[in-house]
Amino acid sequence: MIQFQNVSKHYENHTALRSLSFLIDKGEMVFVTGPSGSGKTTMLKLIYLAERQDEGNVTVAGHETAKLKESSIPMLRRNIGFVFQDFRLLHNRDVFENVAIALRIRGTHEKDIKARVFDSLKLVTLRHKSDSYPDALSGGEQQRVAIARAVVTEPTVILADEPTGNIDPDLSAGIIRIFKDINAKGTTILIATHNRDLFRDSGKRVLRLDSGNLVSDEVQ
């Protein structure tokens, strides 16, 4: 589903990724960990094409990203669900609209939108908050809205960048449980985090990065 082959990414002052190679199969749930500046976010950016690698090949859902034209990027991103540390919710729209926007972008018919949004909100147990605005929700609830938005389009891959970074530690386990439920339905999930508690004894694969190098790839 996601393959890196000798991928390197250089910035002006430093190298973010050095000859990175790994393969994530369809339906896997994988954690990427490492200290700040180790290259976790850069790795995710290469997957969703916010950045392009300088060397090597990245393949996502069968697409070799280096060969993709700019006009094809939206189509690639429609295969991916995003969950960010800062949630990236639209604060002038209610929870329903925040989730529905992902479907509207894809041109989903209005009558399907309602059912699918409520299904997603049920998954993250926020069905009752559909009329609330993000500012009226707790950090954990906002992150669950972001997850609902990521899954509502039934993507093949979900990328999560520090999904528990802005929420209380005791809520983190709940977020990971939701990801596991989604993964159980066959969605590939890649979570970048520096919080070891999230993957400790999870039985999931963990890629460890340090200064842009892949230093370990093992099941915890």
Partner 1 sequence: MLTPFAFRLAAQSLLHEKWINLLSVLTIAVCFLVMAMTAFAVYNIDLATKKLPEKFSMMVYLKDNLSHEDLKNVVEALRKENVVENVKFIPKDDSIKELRSFLKNTSFVLEGLEENPLPDSVEIKLSKESIALDSVKKIAEKFKGIKGVDEVEYGEQFLTSLNSVKIGIKTLGTAFIIIMFGGILFVCYSTVKILFYRKNREMETFKLLGATKGFIRAPFLIEGATIGFFGGLLSLAGVLIFYYSIILRLSLTIPLFKSIAFPANAVLLLPVLGFVLGITGALIAIGRIRY
Residues making contact with partner 1 (CB under 8 A):
48-50, 70-71, 73-75, 77-78, 80, 82, 88, 90, 92, 101-102, 104-107, 149, 153
Nearer to partner 1, 157 or 206 (CB): 157
Q: Closest Cα to residue 79, out of 158, 143, 179?
A: 158
Which pair of structure tokens corresponds to residue 132? Answer: 């609330």
The least CB distance from residue 25 to partner 1, in Å, is 23
The least CB distance from residue 217 to partner 1, in Å, is 27
Q: Closest Cα to residue 167, out of 195, 125, 207?
A: 195
Nearer to partner 1, 142 or 206 (CB): 142
Nearer to partner 1, 75 or 136 (CB): 75
Q: Which long-range contacts (CB under 8 A, 24 or more apart) does 198-205 make?
A: 198/31, 198/164, 198/172, 199/31, 199/33, 202/31, 202/176, 204/29, 204/30, 204/31, 205/24, 205/28, 205/29, 205/30, 205/31
Count of beta carbons in the 10 Å neighbourhood of residue 125: 13
Nearer to partner 1, 165 or 174 (CB): 165
The least CB distance from residue 58 to partner 1, in Å, is 15
The least CB distance from residue 19 to partner 1, in Å, is 26
Q: Are 158 and 80 in contact (CB under 8 A)?
A: yes
Nearer to partner 1, 25 or 86 (CB): 86
Q: Closest Cα to residue 158, out of 10, 9, 31?
A: 31
* Pairwise CA distance, residues 23 & 4, whole Å: 6
The least CB distance from residue 70 to partner 1, in Å, is 6
